[in-house]
Amino acid sequence: MENFNVNCKDVDELSILYLEGFLDAHTAPLLESEIQKLVDRDRYKLIVNFKDLNYISSAGLGVFMGFVETIRSNQGDIKMCCMPSKIFRVFDLLGFPSLYDIVDGEEEAVKLYRNSEAESSVKQNSSQKS
Amino acid sequence: MDQDWLSLKMSDHILVISWAFFATVFILIALGTLRNLIYIKRKQSTARNFTWLMIMMVLYSVLAMPVAHESVRFGSAFWKTASLVILFIVINFIIINALRVAWVNYLNKKQKLGCFWGGFLLLPIQIYFTVRFQGVNPIYPFSPVLERFIEIGNIFLSVYLVVAFLALLAHLPTAKLFDRKLQQISSLHFLSRAVSSEFDVDKLVRTIVQLTTKVTEADFAWLELQHENDQQLRLVSSCRLDQTERDNKDVCFSDPLVQKIIRDRSTFSSNQAVKNSHSSHLRNWKHDLGSLIAVPLATGERVVGILYAGKTYEFGFEQEDGEMLRAFGDQAVIALENARLVKESLIKERLEQELKVAHDAQMKLLPIDMPTLPGIAIDAVCITANEVGGDYYDFFKLSPTKLGVIIGDVSGKGASAAFYMAEVKGIMESLARPDLSPKDMMCAANETLYQNFSRNIFISVVYAVLDSEANTFTFCRAGHCPVLFMSSEDEFCKRFEPRGLGLGLDSGKIFKSVLDEVTIPLKKGHTMMLYTDGVTESRNPDGEEFGENRLSEILQSVHRKSALEIKKQVIHAVFTFLDGERAYDDMTFVVIKDME
């Protein structure tokens, strides 16, 4: 059985998950519990870094689907970055790019969050003005 | 001896003949019995010595004839000397054979005592008769040979019995010890037999505890084993403990005795258990505890239980009792492990059986007969990696000239995927209608599945409608693998990968906007292949993936063949590539070929 590992790092209000190894039906519960922990801590702004992931199966993809609704309803999101081409191919076939922000680098994912914050604060300001 | 046979009266004749008959029978039976006793623990020379004794006894007896008849040519002095020489040899063999009393060792104490008293009463009678009739046996006038044979046979019997009696006497003091050793050995033997025959854990623990009391001659014994759930030790069986004692024996790892045994993994033995710091607390539980031995039952590094034997008085155990119990415990743990493994494998076997039933049930969900459409040949296969899986294909006869073809892969694996697959099949079947375009059909399916399935489950599907009248192949790719297309004119295979999203991922809006529908005109010799990622993601022993390129290459090389032949070639190619490696995921594909 090949190994799978998740490391989690908090950067301000963002939580970055580093996936490593082989994510399939057997290892998916590990990722699930890791994301559940973040949700329990009310951390909804996730960035998932796929740099060191070798394989992802449909069960692995299912983990993100299982959480994305809750996370988005709490003004959070799951943004994905640093996908090896093989992993991206799996996401792409299923049409995930139309559901998630998938970017090249971690900084870009962070930037996406910062921009949307700026946007919402601009909106807030404008609504206050009006 | 002076009497002549002919001078005897008739009544005496009868007396002598019956005397001779009974004496002969007696001596033959006695010799037969002695032979059996002598042959116990026989060596190579045993049989030879006994045979020689018999030969010499017969020879000595036969020599009585010339001695008795003075008329023989050589003088009687010669025959007397010859008789003496043979007698000397016979006595030597008697002594050699009389020393073969090994059987005395193997009597238990009771038998030894029985033999001792039996010998004590019977031996004097035997000796008395032997000596009394020495040379004055009434058979002599009838047959001097028989008389001599009976005489020498009786001597042999007497000598043998005396030696055996003495040997018995010498063994009496150790009889008890010997008995105990035998008991221990037979208990061990019994247990090792139980190892290979008894797989019922409850019976086995009872046997172990009962044999423990035998091996150590303990007054009571009990066995504590780790419970499957909490790994705590529990009393599972006991011998001669009363109900209150059984109920009140709570075991936990904090018990100092348990801790010591688990830590040291060695035998604990105390002849003054209530005074020993490790076991003194047991006094509160069992008031009459005197001596105690406890041995750990260990498999590898893990202590799975503890076996106890106790006596109600102090100094009840000897050093070797502990060693014996340890050896016994080692056997017991093998027996227990064995039983556990057998139980596990039985459960596994049952599960496998159930999965096989599930597999058969699932295979029945897939169409067996390939559909027919004018001018179009179709073939399909689904090879599951596990007993049940999430791959699926189906055909819907929409009209005489229209056929719906679907291939799908439910996310996840095993039983859960199989359940969803069955549900997907039902939903698709109920939705498939001739007037529904592939895109509309997919949108409707997505809506139903999104509402009914849990969020982390989704299905990737290719749904195609073949129209043999319009000669078109119209399809949508809902997140599934691309469709391979090969025309007879082209050299290379085309890969159609229109935009699309897996079913059950989105409530509908994005799904609809993303999904593209493609129509390919069909011509003679066109071949289409729909497949699941199990085919392309199958890995060889080096971990290399089969990949889309290999699949395309195979299709390019075999596309001119029939649909059935293409199917066979692809399966062959994939399994050759796998090279004995087990398939990790289900492999499914559908081959569609325009024949006209």
Residues B456-476: tens digit of each pLDDT: 899 999 999 999 999 999 999
Helices (H), B318-413: 319-365
Measured in angstroms, the CA of A4 and the nearest CA of chain B are apart by 16
B391, B409 contact by CB (below 8 A):
yes
Closest to B146 (Cα-Cα) out of B19, B326, B301, B324: B19
Helices (H), B40-72: 44-62, 64-68
B576: contact with A, CB 8 A cutoff: no
Residue B135 has pLDDT above 70, yes or no: no
B157 touches chain A (CB under 8 A): no
Prediction pTM value:
0.61
- pLDDT score of B161 more than 70: yes
The C-alpha of A118 sits at a distance from chain B's nearest C-alpha, in angstroms, of 26
Which range among B269-283, B490-504, B536-550 shows the weakest confidence by mean pLDDT? B269-283
Calculated CA dihedral for residues B333, B339, B340, B344, nearest 10 degrees: 160
Q: A62–B414: do the CB atoms touch at under 8 Å?
A: no
Contact list in A for residue B421 (CB cut-off 8 A) is: none
Cα B101-B106-B107 angle, rounded to 5 deg: 100
φ, ψ of residue B42 to 5 degrees: the values are: -70, 150
ipTM: 0.88
Q: pLDDT of A68-107, one tens digit each? A: 999 999 999 999 999 999 999 999 999 999 999 999 999 9
Residue B209, pLDDT above cutoff 70: yes
Q: Are B534 and B586 in contact (CB under 8 A)?
A: yes
CA quadruple B270, B276, B280, B283: dihedral positive or negative?
A: positive
Q: Which helix (H) or strand (E) holds B441?
A: helix B438-452
CA distance B395 to B462: 12
Count CB atoms within 10 A of the CB of residue B124. 10
CA distance A58 to chain B (A): 5
Residue B1 has pLDDT above 60, yes or no: no
| Among B413, B456, B514, beta carbon nearest to A66 | B456
Lowest mean pLDDT among A93-102, B283-292, B568-577: B283-292
Residue B318, helix vs strand vs coil: coil
pLDDT band at A127 (very low <50, low <70, confident <90, very high): low
pLDDT single digits (tens) B399-427:
999 999 999 999 887 788 888 999 999 99
Helix, strand or coil, per DSSP, at residue B214 = helix
Query: Closest chain A residue to B454 measured between Cα atoms?
Result: A66
Per CB-CB distance under 8 Å, the chain A contacts of B482 are 93
Distance from the Cα of B498 to chain A's closest Cα (Å) equals 10
User: What is the per-residue pLDDT for B190?
Assistant: 80
Is B461 in contact with B478 (CB distance < 8 Å)? yes
Q: State the pLDDT at residue B201.
A: 84
Q: Write phi, then psi, for A55 (nearest 5 degrees).
A: -150, 145
**Interface touch A95/B455, C-beta < 8 Å:** no
Closest-CA distance of chain B to residue A97, Å:
9
- Among B124, B110, B107, B97, smallest CA distance to B43 is for B97
Inter-chain Cβ pairs, chain A and chain B, closer than 8 A:
64
Nearest-CA distance B200 → chain A (Å): 33
pLDDT band at B439; cut points 50, 70, 90: very high
- For residue B432 the two structure tokens come to 């498939």
Count of CB atoms situated within 10 Å of the CB of B529: 27
Total Cβ atoms within 10 A of residue B196: 10
* Whether B296 contacts chain A with CB within 8 A: no
Contact residues on chain A for B500, CB-CB shorter than 8 A: 95
- Decide if pLDDT at A130 tops 70: no
> pLDDT at residue B147 above 50?
yes
Compute how many other C-beta atoms are within 10 angstroms of the C-beta atom of residue B27.
20
Q: How many CB atoms lie within 10 A of CB B109?
A: 17
Which residue does chain A place closest to B502, by CA atoms?
A94
Residues in chain A with CB shorter than 8 Å from the CB of B534 are none
Nearest to B226 by CA among B234, B238, B218, B216: B234
Averaged pLDDT for residues B548-564? 92
Residue B84 predicted with pLDDT over 60: yes
Task: State both tokens at B377.
Answer: 């040949």
Q: Does the pLDDT of residue B52 top 90, yes or no?
A: yes
Strands B527-531 and B483-486: antiparallel
* A62: chain B residues, CB-CB within 8 Å: 411-412, 456-458
Sheet of strand B483-486: strand arrangement: B376-383, B587-594, B527-531, B483-486, B494-496
- Band (B70; pLDDT cuts 50, 70, 90): low
Predicted pLDDT of residue B465: 95
Question: Regarding predicted confidence, which is higher, A118 or B348?
Answer: B348
Structure confidence at residue A126 (pLDDT):
62
Tens of pLDDT, residues B195-207: 667 778 888 888 8
Q: Are B499 and B458 in contact (CB under 8 A)?
A: no
Asked if B249 and B306 count as a contact pair (C-beta separation under 8 A), the reply is no
Chain A residues with CB-CB distance to B443 below 8 A = none
At residue B562's C-alpha, the angle toward residues B560 and B564, to 5°, is 135
For residue B350, pLDDT over 70 is answered with yes
What distance in Å separates the CA atoms of residue B273 and residue B314, rounded to the nearest whole number? 8
Contact partners, residue B186, CB within 8 Å, separation at least 6: none
Contact A58 B460 (CB under 8 A): yes
Rounded to an integer, what distance in angstroms lies between the CA atom of residue B234 and that of residue B229? 11
The answer to whether A58 contacts B412, with C-beta atoms less than 8 Å apart, is yes
Q: Comparing B54 with B274, which gets the higher pLDDT?
A: B54
Contact yes or no for B439/B461 (Cβ under 8 A): no
Residues of A near B (Cβ–Cβ under 8 Å) read: 24-25, 57-59, 61-63, 65-66, 68-69, 90, 93-96, 98-99
What pLDDT, on a 0 to 100 scale, did the predictor assign at position B321? 85
What's the rounded mean pLDDT across residues B500-526? 93
pLDDT surpasses 50 at B534: yes
Longest dimension (CA), chain A: 60
B41/A106: higher pLDDT: A106
The share of chain B scoring above pLDDT 70, in percent, equals 95
Query: In this predicted structure, what is the pLDDT of residue B28?
Result: 92
B12 vs B349, residue with greater confidence: B349
Residues of A in contact with B460 (CB under 8 A): 58, 93-94
Average pLDDT over residues B533-544: 89
Is residue B249 classed as helix, strand or coil in its secondary structure?
coil
Closest residue in A to B500 (Cα–Cα) = A95
pLDDT of residue B379: 94
